[in-house]
Chains A and B, each alone.
Chain A
Amino acid sequence: MRNLILFIRRFFNLILFLLLEILCIILIGNTNTVQGNDIVSSANTIAGIVYKKHSDVLYYFGLRNMNDSLLYENARLRNQLEKYKYTDLLKDSIVHLQIGNNDTSKIHTTKYYDFIYRTARVINNSTNATDNYITINRGSKDGISKNMAVISSTGIVGRVEHVSAHYASIFSVLSSKHKVSAKLKNGTNGFVIWDEKDPDILTMIDVPQQINVKQGDSIYTNFSQYYPPDILIGVVQKVEMIKKNALQQIYLKSSTDFHNLQYVYVIENTMASEKKQLEELNNKK
């Protein structure tokens, strides 16, 4: 007995070493079984907490990429939606037969508006000048050209004014010279301008007095040279009657938050030039 204790004391380190190594081998052996050992795995609480915190921190660094991908996703979905929105089913018109197209479901379908949505990030923005411009990080190389409409996810922003190879400046709705053709919910037309005072408030003019406008009504864009139809401009905040010409003035709260504009969509109307050419023929006569 005494010899055994002496032996253990003498080779204590070696015995401990061998015991620990055997323990490790048992652990390794257990890992590959079905039961596994949950203690030595990242499923345990402490390792879980550390990894959770770590991914929480890393999550913030990934937000920009995530934002971008959501934006592209939105643009893609909007593009898909356009296909269904602006097609006209002329069921009995033989004129629109597309020769050489075997897809029978599309034979009577004529597209007359075709919009392409492109995403862009705002890199410079102003709201306090008389004519406000916004700069975006897309230019002619990305397919942006003059007079394309620009909207945010919540509503109208403006239209493209100048284009360079990689940047474009947008003529914001917040400008004394910008006039947007607008319509009320019931179809009454008018124009939306900006009175150069408050970047949150737009003014709609040329609405006849007999039209009943309530606070909270939405105002949308009319189809015009620049803008696609039915894009939200703002909601009615106050209505003012003008006595001398039987018109009323509507003050809108703009639906886009111009102070905090980060991402926008640039909309290309692929039929715009064709329409313009046609209308110029009318003017010549």
Chain B
Amino acid sequence: MNIYLKNFLRFCIIVLLQVLILKRITLIWWTNPHTFPAFIPDVYPLFILLLPFEISVWALLLLGFTLGITIDTFMNTGGIHAFAMVLVAYLRTNVLNALMPRNLNEYVNQQPTIKTMGWMPFLVYSAFLIFIHHSVFYILEMWNVGNLNILLIKIAVSTITTMLFILIYILLFTRQNAAKL
């Protein structure tokens, strides 16, 4: 499949998934609802994570901004998602450069998955970027350092949850790619 079409479809699917389904799943800590905040798993940065290796930084930035603004539009959050997303898009190239043995330009027509990177590097790569994204997002969203405990718990738990969702997504869709290759 054409790589542009494929990524466009992925964009639509991830946005719809996030906006129509994941938005409704409000996870609440079941043991003690009073001290634990409710949160929504934000899986949509996955789109940026899965773009091809050799994509240039300015394209990444613009795509990240578009994705963030789209999510903001649906979630009514102004530009918070976009802010976090642009940051993630900017950091992506550096993280990948640090993790991959060769120069990124040498991976032609490949995208960061478990198949191309291996389990550990991919997990580190996605977990780091998701953590950055969630930290920035929740800090901006709460805009209040008074509840530092809640902020930290929120960041930690939503990062873990999002990573679970991302793993599920990767496991569901990797085999299809393998069959095509």
Binding site for B on A (CB under 8 A): 12-13, 16-17, 20-21, 23-32, 37, 39-42, 44, 46-47, 50-51, 54
Contacts and interface: CB of A to CB of B under 8 A. Distances in A.
Interface residues of B, number: 25
Contact of B140 (A23, A28, A39): A28
Give the dominant DSSP class at A's interface: helix
Contacts of B62: 16, 20
Contacts of B65: 20, 23-24
Interface in B1-37: 16, 19-20
Given A23-B79, A31-B79, A40-B73, 15 more contacts: A13-B57, A16-B62, A20-B86, A21-B86, A21-B87, A23-B82, A24-B65, A24-B79, A25-B79, A27-B79, A27-B82, A31-B78, A37-B78, A42-B73, A46-B73
A21 B19 CA distance: 23
B54 to A, nearest CB: 15
13 contacts: A16-B61, A16-B62, A17-B90, A23-B82, A24-B80, A24-B82, A28-B83, A28-B140, A29-B78, A31-B79, A42-B75, A50-B20, A50-B74
B28 to A, nearest CB: 21
Task: Among B57, B78, B83, find the residue whose CB has the most chain A CB atoms closer than 10 A.
Answer: B78
Nearest to B81: A24
A26 B16 CA distance: 26
Contact of B19 (A12, A39, A50): A50
A29 B79 CA distance: 9
Given A28-B140, A41-B73, A42-B73, A17 B86 contact: yes
B68 interface: yes
Nearest to A13: B57
A24 B74 contact: no
Contact of B86 (A24, A30, A44): A24
Contacts of A30: 78
A246 B62 CA distance: 93
A28 B19 contact: no
Given A17-B90, A25-B83, A54-B20, A41 B61 contact: no
A30 B16 CA distance: 26
Nearest to A14: B90
B73 A32 contact: no
Contacts of A51: 74
Given A13-B90, A21-B87, A40 B78 contact: yes
B76 A42 contact: yes
Interface string B76-104: 11111011001100100000000000000
A83 to B, nearest CB: 42
B31 to A, nearest CB: 29
Contacts of B140: 28
A172 B62 CA distance: 69
A28 B80 contact: yes
A42 B74 CA distance: 5
B25 to A, nearest CB: 14
A27 B86 contact: no
B58 interface: yes
B12 to A, nearest CB: 11
Task: Among A12, A28, A42, A51, find the residue whose CB has the most chain B CB atoms closer than 10 A.
Answer: A28
Contacts of B73: 39-42, 44, 46-47
Contacts of A41: 73, 76
Contacts of B78: 27-32, 37, 40
Contacts of A21: 83, 86-87
Contacts of B58: 12-13, 16
A10 B165 CA distance: 38
